[in-house]
Structure 1
């Protein structure tokens, strides 16, 4: 009897820990540090794989522009892989691109631009998205 109760408790606790509903998370990256770029891309990939019914967006702006540069990104391979997933989007601020004289052809394929990175984050938060700031 004790084993049956213990088994039921373990089953119930396992079900409680499982994701019960999809989530939506926006990752904010402004750092110019390549280590932050690699870590943010890894977090995005791991979350997207672990929660395929959830949505994730990585917003790049300011000093993080190199993160999405197809020629010099420290996280390029991971980003190229992860943007192919249906539950992931990676966007870059068009104002940041303009300031750094970058065009869409300079970006890792699959990455799109938004008019303003900060506005993008605020609008997603307004819609109930969770927020993660990737820092050193």
Structure 2
């Protein structure tokens, strides 16, 4: 006859075995998860950039490029980049982002600079790329876009 201690040990080992078997990979006859299906005709997202950290700027531009290349969203996606605060660096002529910004713009991305930031930081439009657009406030643009149903992305 099994002692209580042996019985508990056996139950514990059995439960471990069940846990391991429950974590085995999906059998080949079952499809793997491939992500959400894009059933809508149009998707819109506004990206917020308010940091001058070069890593974050590059990450934001890369994220936008990746979203535009997602096969589920091809031909269905409209993006806007709203820049304010330190994020204004991405639009400065003195920074190395012009080629990436032009490539995004050629894919239909709206590039919007906050005029409030320019006023507060005394930034002249001459310091920024001539192909960008302007909005009165970055936060106002985000609020309006979100209420219009745009997804808000803040990398």
CA distance in 1, matches of 2:88, 2:97: 12
* Higher relative contact order, structure no. (Cα contacts within 8 Å, ≥ 6 residues apart): 1
- Deviation at 1:64? 1.1
Q: How far is the alpha carbon of 1:107 from its aligned partner?
A: 2.0
Is 1:101 aligned to 2:122, yes or no?
yes
* Matching of residues 1-136 of structure 1 within 5 Å: 17-21=36-40, 22-50=42-70, 51=73, 52-72=75-95, 74-86=96-108, 88-134=109-155
TM normalised by structure 1 equals 0.77
CA RMSD across the alignment: 2.1
State the partner residue of 1:3. none
Counterparts of 2:140 and 2:129 in 1: how far apart (Å)? 22
- SS of the residue aligned with 2:152? strand
How many correspondences in the alignment?
122
1:63 Cα deviation (Å)?
1.4
Q: Which stretches in structure 1 are left out of the alignment for 5+ residues? A: 1-5
Larger radius of gyration: 2
Q: Post-superposition shift, 1:47?
A: 1.4
Structure 2, unmatched stretches of 5+, are: 1-28
**Between 104-113 and 54-63, the greater mean CA deviation after superposition:** 104-113
- TM-score, length-normalised on structure 2? 0.69
- Are the equivalent residues in 2 in contact too, given 1:92–1:111 (CA < 8 A)? yes
2: CA distance, partners of 1:30 / 1:133: 9
